[in-house]
Structure 1
Amino acid sequence: MSSRLVPTGRDATGRADRPLRITVDGEPAEGIAGQTLAGLLLASGRSSWRQAPSGAPRGVFCGIGVCFDCLVTVNGEPDVRACRRRAVDGDEVTTRSRAGRGPADGPESGAGEGR
């Protein structure tokens, strides 16, 4: 089986993609309604958006909400799993790095961080 893009006008499912726009670290990013934040971040060219304590880049690993590698802050709410949260038009997403975090960045939740 090969993948292919189907032009909207010929899509037998009748899907009508609704564009949306969010901001990621203050920069605009565009996606499609129903897309997860992780999918939108990956589609916009970001393969990682935080760092482990060792400095290793982290992004999507499992894609099903088990590993907690894809954590972001959404509209001020920290520790949101990007692979589980659907993007909503106007979302403000902030990525982060655990390495070198200072007090201004807030407390660590530590949930599922694999210490």
Structure 2
Amino acid sequence: MTRIIDHAILGKLDSLKKVSFQFNGKSYEAYEHETVAAALLANGIRQLRVHEESGTPRGIYCNIGHCMECRVTVNHQPNVRACLTKVEEGMTIESGRRHPTPLKKTEGLQ
């Protein structure tokens, strides 16, 4: 894990309570008050979802809630921005999945 352990404003990391959460069925630890994006990044997770149509990987981009690239499903609620949501004890997070490709029109049929 990679985190700032002694921050001039936020204080020392070891003074914060640890919380556990799940991402895609696997258990991880975070610190209280961390965002979901920060907790995932600190645990080595860079890909948060895939593009709904193309399936290309997506991760943290702007980290200020503007771009919507970090959307995940939190406790069964889809399209939650990981960079604005604080991780909580027992939280279940799932990455965004590619949607099934719609059937293409067959030539001559309508």
Secondary structure of residue in 1 paired with 2:20: strand
Tell me by how many angstroms 1:101 deviates. 7.2
The structure where strand makes up a greater share of residues is 2
| Alignment correspondent of 1:26 | 25
Structure 2 equivalent of residue 77 of structure 1: 77
**TM-score normalised according to structure 2 size:** 0.75
**Contact 1:50–1:96 (Cα < 8 Å) also in 2:** yes
> How many aligned positions are there?
93
> Any stretches of 5+ residues in structure 2 without a counterpart?
103-110
Q: Secondary structure at the match of 1:72?
A: strand
1:85 & 1:5 partners in 2: Cα distance?
Answer: 21
**Offset, 1:54:** 2.5
Identical aligned residues as a percent: 32
**CA RMSD of the aligned region, Å?**
2.1
Shift of 1:97: 2.1
Query: Which TM-score applies when normalising by structure 1?
Result: 0.72
Which residue of the partner structure matches residue 88 of structure 2? 88
Q: How far did 1:26 drift? A: 1.1
- Cα pair distance change 1:101/1:32, threshold 3 Å: farther
Q: CA deviation at 1:40?
A: 0.6
Cα distance in 2 between the residues matched to 1:14 and 1:23: 25
- Higher Rg of the two aligned structures: 2
* Conservation of the 8 A alpha-carbon contact between 1:51 and 1:99: no
Contact 1:71 1:81 in 2 (8 A): yes
